[in-house]
């Protein structure tokens, strides 16, 4: 999915207010994010008002190329399904409400906050988690080379957001990275290394197979 297209899609909430407008209005300093939100992902099948739950229902998730059949309560988020039911703990739970990006995974190639997507709504989509990346993936290597991590708790989320960003922006500058990754928060203060890492990895990823 093209970066522009993704930005537009993510800006529209069901309410008709764009997320960007909303953030501007609320004076948020950590700029708008290019990540898709729960509301948007959940908004998909308009008019299909079938009621499921509240007890566990069958849920089929395609994660990193593998199909998993689970029984989950409809309220279970994609993040909790990954972490608590599939033991894929690379995506972290930090704020659990779409502000920090630590839970970032890719849904059909686009970054989403997994804490803000219901597992049932992620069915039928291609889900990629950090575990899908080989440890020698250029983005991971660049984070290590530029020391873009300390405690590492925000890092997998940053890496996934950065991979999606870099696939679309191979020629990005540090300034672009600041905009593209503004939906992720690091408490240890690793931004200096991350800015350098993403610029470098984006160039390396172009042409690299499986990046």
Residues that bind ligand FES in the complex, under the rule CB under 6 A: 93-96, 98-103, 113, 115, 149-155, 186-188, 190
Q: Which stretch binds another protein (CB under 8 A): 7-15, 44-52, 99-107, 164-172?
A: 99-107
Indicate the residue among 155 and 182 with the shorter CB distance to ligand FES.
Answer: 155
Q: How much of the chain is in helix, strand and coil states, percent to nearest 5?
A: 40, 15, 45
CB of 168 to another protein, least distance (A): 17
CB of 2 to another protein, least distance (A): 22
DSSP 3-state of 133: coil
Q: What does DSSP say about strands 126-128 and 66-72: parallel, antiparallel, or unpaired?
A: unpaired
DSSP 3-state of 114: helix
Which residues in the 45-84 window bind another protein by CB under 8 A? 73, 75-76, 80, 83-84
8 binds, among ligand FES, another protein, none (CB under 5 to 8 A by kind): none
Indicate the residue among 168 and 190 with the shorter CB distance to ligand FES.
Answer: 190
What strand order describes the sheet that includes 66-72?
66-72, 57-63, 126-128, 104-107, 110-113
CB of 55 to another protein, least distance (A): 10
Listing DSSP states for 28-48 in one string gives -SSPPP-SB-HHHHHT-STT-
């Amino acid at each position: 999915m093209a970066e522009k297209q993704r930005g537009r899609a993510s800006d529209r909430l069901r309410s008709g207010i764009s997320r960007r407008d909303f953030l501007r209005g609320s004076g948020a300093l950590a700029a708008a994010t290019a990540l898709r939100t729960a509301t948007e992902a959940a908004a998909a099948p308009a008019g299909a008002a079938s009621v499921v739950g509240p007890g566990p229902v069958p849920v089929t998730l395609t994660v990193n190329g593998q199909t998993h059949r689970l029984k989950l309560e409809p309220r279970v988020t994609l993040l909790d399904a990954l972490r608590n039911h599939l033991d894929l703990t690379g995506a972290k739970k930090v704020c659990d409400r779409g502000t920090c990006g630590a839970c970032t995974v890719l849904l059909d190639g686009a970054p989403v906050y997994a804490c803000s997507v219901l597992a049932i709504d992620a069915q039928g989509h291609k889900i990629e988690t950090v575990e899908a990346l080989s440890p020698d993936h250029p983005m991971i290597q660049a984070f290590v080379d530029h020391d873009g991590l300390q405690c590492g708790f925000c890092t997998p989320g940053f890496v996934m957001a950065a991979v999606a960003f870099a696939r679309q922006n191979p020629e990005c500058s540090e300034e672009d990275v600041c905009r593209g990754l503004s939906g992720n928060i690091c408490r240890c203060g690793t931004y200096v290394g991350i800015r350098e890492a993403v610029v470098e990895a984006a160039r390396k990823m172009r042409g690299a197979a499986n990046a």
